A and B are shown apart, each in its own frame.
Chain A
Amino acid sequence: MIEIKPNIPGALANQQLQRNLKHTLTGSLESRNAAVAAVPNWQDLRNHARQVKLHTLERLDLYLERLETKIEANGGKVVWAEDTAAAVAAIVEIARSRSARKVVKSKSMLTEEIHLNPALEDAGLDVVETDLGEYIVQLCGEVPSHLVTPALHKSKEEVAELFIEKLGMTPTDDIGELTQAARRVLRQHFLSADVGISGVNFAVAETGTLVVVENEGNARLSTSVPRTHIAIMGIEKVIPRVSDLAVFLKLLIRSATGQKVTSYINLISGPRRAGEVDGPEEFYLILVDNGRTKVHSDLHFRQSLACIRCGICLNVCPVFQKIGGHAYGSVYQGPIGSVLTPQFLSESVAPQHPFASSLCGACKEICPVKIEIPDLLLELRQRVQEKTTKGRPFGEKAAMIVWAWMMTSPFRYKLASWLVTRIARRFISKGKPLLNFPPLSAWQKKRDLPPIPARSLKELYRARGGRK
């Protein structure tokens, strides 16, 4: 079982993490908001993208077959993998049969999902992450803490310490120098790698083209220098037409980084062709299911497969903002992580995820493909409840009956609130004995109860001559 609750106190008490989260998330939301404000028809773009995605999901089988046909026509090979084991086995097999020794990787959350790196290492391969954030996380032996910015939880001092220790660089906390140090080391890895593995942002069925969006140039190098390029994607990443890329890229990039466009957008249609000077000799696309068909079979939850992994719902989530990515204990974190994790792994493996939300709706408001995250979380809560407790506990049931009885008559309501405020003023204020006993003691352990005012709003209103 993956738990969130036990991780929360530690995350909240970690001052460094709190500073890093506040600093980076505030900045990224500001730049996203500015980038979106500059697009007058942002809502049209969202509606367009959502429609294309939902259409594609209705005919996913057809578009995947079309994609396969086109990739093969371009000289590539397609491998289908129904689960983690099949995906890992396929990649290890390709690497082995080429006697590969070193693999360079550009960013792919799916490879985290299938735990590819340890599997490749077990097979005797040297695996190097080349996205700067991923590289930092790999050197620490950690996992990413954000969909888009994997090393979000690290400060420059922490990165400096890491590079001094692992790369033997001279002490500095200049971010430019740290970046150059990573560049030098990774450059050597690019030039000596046998296999390059990349993720995929979009796969276009009509042309067999993979789109990889990046800023650093590492994806271009990973997919072009080594002899073999293996791209890996979840089956939900396919889109029908090239022309829709204009819309998807605009939505993805402005949401993810607040840029108008990234430095590089790679469109890859197979291996090197006759007459081209370089590029990989072989190209593979691994199409991974790993729970996605299960999500697909639920007509309401299907929309969660429309996610384009922009990460902005994480940044805007008040829970994520306080606890960060690692507290979720899962590969996918934040609001969409809380929707996907229980579905991919089953509700009983991740029963706390649907509850790690205030249901404030900010994620749904900001999502570029308008996924109804709060609605899905609510439904998941219900499922978890049904699975774990066979109905509500007795105390809760009783409380609800009393509550309903009180709320359904104005007289009873008035009487109850009159009584409760009197009791509260005398016995439940700060320092008063009743707060120190269960069940109230549990509540007040992490919260302060503000003093209960001497007069209620209604009383004040009347005292000042307000009419009934």
Chain B
Amino acid sequence: MSRETILARLRSSGRSESIDLPETLPDFPAYDDPVEQFRVEIERVGGVFLDARRADSLVECLSGVLAQRGAEQFVWEGSAVFERHQIPVRYLAEQASTEHGFLTSMHADSSVSLPIEVLPAGDLDLPAVQVSVSSAVCAIAETGSIVESTAVAGSRVLPILVPHHVVLVSSSDFVQNSAEFFGQLEPGKRESAQILMTGPSRTADIEKTLIIGVHGPQSLTVIVTG
């Protein structure tokens, strides 16, 4: 068996000197205004930053994004997003289980609430979706990264498959830097996957020339909520 062979070889190969794991991490930068630092970083890599910390501006913000991308509807990754960000929604049909389905929302017809239509996940034509909205569990000021977890945001695939992705992140979920983020992270405790996203998808594989929008979205919009 390969397993035993490999382990036996490693065990017999000897130790040089004993080297301990370092106890503390080197310093990482910290900021007086983490949200502002985050904005600078995400805009630097071609992301869009919107401030909706005033609760009444959120619905307006969302319909603005929709109009700008020329899309008819959003796909929400589960209803948890509404609760997390206290989004006023109005269901168009009585559907019991909204938990794991994708929800589509028509154009906001008022600035008060979003009309919601519930579609079971299977009925959704994924490749046709133009804009998806999900919720981040964390934002990292140092690098302008947002973090999605499959335990909260839902889909592992959708944020990469769509041309335009929108992420809501609460201002209370900001951390200063990646050391703080990884220091408190317990990956796999609740979810199968987490992803740190920083700006839209990109490549420089041909002549080191930067191209935005390869396999993932051409645009990433981050909305900070109160």
A-B pairs under 8 A by CB, number:
267
Which residues of chain B from 182 to 210 have any CB-CB distance to chain A below 8 Å in the complex?
Answer: 182-183, 185-189, 191-209
Q: With an 8 A cutoff between CB atoms, is A428 at the interface?
A: no
**Given A242-B187, A261-B196, A279-B193: A297 and B14 interface contact (C-beta under 8 Å):** yes
Name the distance in Å between A351's Cβ and chain B's nearest Cβ: 25
Q: With an 8 A cutoff between CB atoms, is A175 at the interface?
A: yes
Kindly identify which residue among B14, B25, B157, B205 contacts A278, using a CB–CB cutoff of 8 Å. Answer: B157
Kindly identify which residue among A154, A224, A245, A272 contacts B206, using a CB–CB cutoff of 8 Å. Answer: A154
Interface size of A by Cβ–Cβ distance < 8 Å? 101
* Binary interface encoding of chain B residues 131-157 relative to chain A, with 1 for a CB under 8 A from any of its CBs, else 0: 000000000000111000011001111
A242 in contact with B78 (CB, 8 Å): no
Across the interface, which residues of B come within 8 angstroms of A250, CB to CB?
178
**Given A175-B211, A217-B160, A276-B192: A299 and B205 interface contact (C-beta under 8 Å):** no
**Given A52-B21, A151-B206, A218-B215: A296 and B13 interface contact (C-beta under 8 Å):** yes
Nearest opposing residue in chain B for A224, CB measure: B156
* Binary interface encoding of chain A residues 220-235 relative to chain B, with 1 for a CB under 8 A from any of its CBs, else 0: 1101110000000001
Nearest opposing residue in chain A for B24, CB measure: A48
B22 in contact with A48 (CB, 8 Å): yes
Q: With an 8 A cutoff between CB atoms, is A179 at the interface?
A: yes
Kindly identify which residue among A20, A155, A218, A276 contacts B154, using a CB–CB cutoff of 8 Å. Answer: A276
A241 in contact with B21 (CB, 8 Å): yes
* Chain B interface mostly: loop
Which residues of chain A from 49 to 92 have any CB-CB distance to chain B below 8 Å in the complex?
Answer: 51-52, 54-55, 58, 60-61, 64-65, 70, 74-75, 79-82, 86
**Given A187-B215, A263-B216: A235 and B6 interface contact (C-beta under 8 Å):** yes
Q: How far is the CA of A339 from the CA of B170 in the complex (A)?
A: 48
Kindly identify which residue among B26, B121, B150 contacts A41, using a CB–CB cutoff of 8 Å. Answer: B26
Q: With an 8 A cutoff between CB atoms, is A119 at the interface?
A: no
Interface size of B by Cβ–Cβ distance < 8 Å? 79
**Given A268-B192, A273-B191, A279-B150: A246 and B206 interface contact (C-beta under 8 Å):** no
Q: How far is the CA of A291 from the CA of B188 in the complex (A)?
A: 31
A82 in contact with B2 (CB, 8 Å): yes
Q: How far is the CA of A186 from the CA of B201 in the complex (A)?
A: 15
Q: With an 8 A cutoff between CB atoms, is B127 at the interface?
A: yes
* Binary interface encoding of chain A residues 282-299 relative to chain B, with 1 for a CB under 8 A from any of its CBs, else 0: 000001010001001101
Kindly identify which residue among A149, A187, A257, A287 contacts B6, using a CB–CB cutoff of 8 Å. Answer: A287
Q: With an 8 A cutoff between CB atoms, is A325 at the interface?
A: no
Across the interface, which residues of A come within 8 angstroms of B188, CB to CB?
70, 74, 207-209, 269-270
In this complex, which of B16, B27, B206 has the most chain A Cβ atoms within 10 angstroms of its Cβ? Answer: B206
B16 in contact with A277 (CB, 8 Å): no
**Given A132-B203, A191-B127: A48 and B25 interface contact (C-beta under 8 Å):** yes
Across the interface, which residues of B come within 8 angstroms of A278, CB to CB?
155-158
Name the distance in Å between A36's Cβ and chain B's nearest Cβ: 14
B145 in contact with A261 (CB, 8 Å): yes
Instruction: Give 7 closest A-B pairs by Cβ, nearest first.
Output: A217-B216, A269-B188, A133-B205, A297-B13, A217-B215, A293-B9, A44-B26
List 26 A-B pairs, Cβ < 8 Å.
Answer: A23-B207, A24-B208, A41-B27, A75-B192, A86-B2, A149-B205, A179-B203, A179-B214, A204-B187, A207-B188, A216-B214, A218-B214, A218-B215, A220-B156, A221-B215, A246-B183, A247-B179, A261-B144, A263-B200, A264-B198, A275-B100, A277-B156, A278-B156, A278-B157, A278-B158, A296-B9
